Amino acid sequence: MARRSDHSREELEELALRTARKIVESEGAQTLTARRLAGDIGYTPGTLYHLFGSMDGVIYRINAETLEKIKEEIAPLHKRKPAQDIPADIHKMAAAYINFAHTHRELWLLLFNTQSAEQPPAWYVEKIEESFSPLEEVMKPLYKKESELKLAARALWSAIHGICYLEITQKGPMRKSRQNATEMAKYLITSFLNGQDRAKA
Amino acid sequence: MARRSDHSREELEELALRTARKIVESEGAQTLTARRLAGDIGYTPGTLYHLFGSMDGVIYRINAETLEKIKEEIAPLHKRKPAQDIPADIHKMAAAYINFAHTHRELWLLLFNTQSAEQPPAWYVEKIEESFSPLEEVMKPLYKKESELKLAARALWSAIHGICYLEITQKGPMRKSRQNATEMAKYLITSFLNGQDRAKA
DNA sequence: CTCAATAATTAAACATTGTTCAATTATTAG
DNA sequence: CTAATAATTGAACAATGTTTAATTATTGAG
């Protein structure tokens, strides 16, 4: 029997999540099972249920970390100085997002390509909202009305995400290299921003 | 024992697929299991494996039908006469797509929100490609180069899909009514097309 | 018509899965 | 030291997709 004094509850949770992330990264989401994860940390499935309530609970925690990582990669691409090249920043963010999806393919798939029986907990929905904020921040100077900013930022980000998703899952009509998603995003963003300017002029 | 002479192989496949579709539509993808489907058509799981090879095989067949339906709803929205209002047609198509996703929610989720162990068969990949063709058709007059047409059409369609996907799965930052996805798509398309015109001028 | 060959269908079994829970073991408090 | 408490386990459940040998139905040849 694993001794409780080996780790505090927090340490044990961290150990479990770290190990779970490793399993997903190296062997894909399918291999993340209760018995496998429990075995890898030297405990039994019951302990995971004690800590996380369910396997979906584990997955939501991993996904929250992934959302955090994505945000961390994207947020710093916007230098706060005024008079910046906003389109350039947006292009950078989109490229970074697509790049993240490719370099952390399995984690990204766990985030967007799995279905859970449980409703997402409130703190998780919050995390999702936050992950969209960097783009909104960058685009802020382009809009007078808060409502239009929100609409524009979310539409654009969803669009970039859609391009990325269909490429990675192969559920869309693009079977070639990663060049395509980045290229498509670039094209979309350029046209979109052009159109925005024009509507304002 | 179900008697083979009750249906020809084709009839039996059709019966199975029709029943499977009904199960998904009314109770969601989770309830489409081998035993359930077999029971509903008066056979046993083994027969399904005889017909479709695997449960993924069944799902690919249903999804192919769904892709067909989507195409049928979208394709006729483009009247072939010249001097048409192309942007209007694109808006109609996007709205129809999002509407389909809502009115056939479960089938649409089966198509885009499930993960299969098997690689999609060639005929299925073909179906995916085809489903994108109507938009490409409409946008054709806007581009001289075939390559740019393909890039633009796929980027735009993926974008619309992304907006739709994040709304329906609630994996993006939109928790309100269906109005949002349609509204976002409208906004995106308008800006995108504006930007395209401008780049050409 | 008979009966062997063939094809479809079934029943039962397997290996996995997530999950629950009473029993067991370790830790803490008094 | 002992009683209360908390963590951990092991075993069990129900359900899943899938395989396969045995069974049943159909067909075709003599």
- Confidence tier at B199 by pLDDT (50, 70, 90): low
Rounded to an integer, what distance in angstroms lies between the CA atom of residue A97 and that of residue A73?
8
Q: What is the pLDDT of residues B20-42, one digit of tens each?
A: 999 999 999 999 999 999 999 99
Indicate whether A72 pLDDT > 70.
yes
Rounded to an integer, what distance in angstroms lies between the CA atom of residue B61 and that of residue A110?
25
Q: What is the pLDDT of residues B72-123, one digit of tens each?
A: 999 998 876 665 799 999 999 999 999 999 999 999 999 998 889 888 999 9
Indicate whether B15 pLDDT > 60.
yes
Indicate whether B170 pLDDT > 70.
yes
Domains, in order of start, for chain A: 1-53 (1.10.10), 63-200 (1.10.357.10)
Q: What is the pLDDT at residue B89?
A: 95
Q: CB distance from B198 to chain A under 8 Å? A: yes
CB atoms under 10 Å from CB of A11, counted, come to 10
Q: What is the pLDDT at residue A105?
A: 97
pLDDT, greater one: B126 or B201:
B126
Residue range A150-163: average pLDDT? 93
Q: What is the pLDDT at residue A93?
A: 97
Indicate whether B144 pLDDT > 60.
yes
Residue A115 Cβ under 7 A from any strand C atom: no
Q: What is the pLDDT at residue A199?
A: 66
Rounded to an integer, what distance in angstroms lies between the CA atom of residue A45 and that of residue A42?
10
Q: Shortest CB distance from B187 goes to which of A113, A132, A155? A: A155
Selected residues 142-171 of chain A with any CB under 8 Å from a CB in chain B: 151-152, 154-163, 165-166, 170-171
Q: What is the pLDDT of residues A117-140, one digit of tens each?
A: 888 999 998 898 888 899 999 999
- Mean of all residue pLDDT scores within chain A: 91
Q: Shortest CB distance from B151 goes to which of A156, A171, A183? A: A183
Q: What is the pLDDT at residue A185?
A: 97
Q: What is the pLDDT of residues A174-196, one digit of tens each?
A: 665 555 899 999 999 999 999 98
CA distances to A2, A26, B113 from A60, rounded to whole Å, are: 25, 19, 17
Indicate whether B174 pLDDT > 90.
no
- Confidence tier at B2 by pLDDT (50, 70, 90): confident
- Confidence tier at B65 by pLDDT (50, 70, 90): very high
CB atoms under 10 Å from CB of B46, counted, come to 10
Q: Shortest CB distance from B192 goes to which of A171, A174, A191? A: A191
Dihedral over Cα of A56, B66, B105, A178: its sign: positive
Selected residues 96-135 of chain A with any CB under 8 Å from a CB in chain B: 109, 111-115, 117, 120, 125, 128-129, 131-132
Residue range B125-152: average pLDDT? 91
- Confidence tier at A16 by pLDDT (50, 70, 90): very high
Rounded to an integer, what distance in angstroms lies between the CA atom of residue A74 and that of residue A131?
9
Indicate whether B201 pLDDT > 70.
no
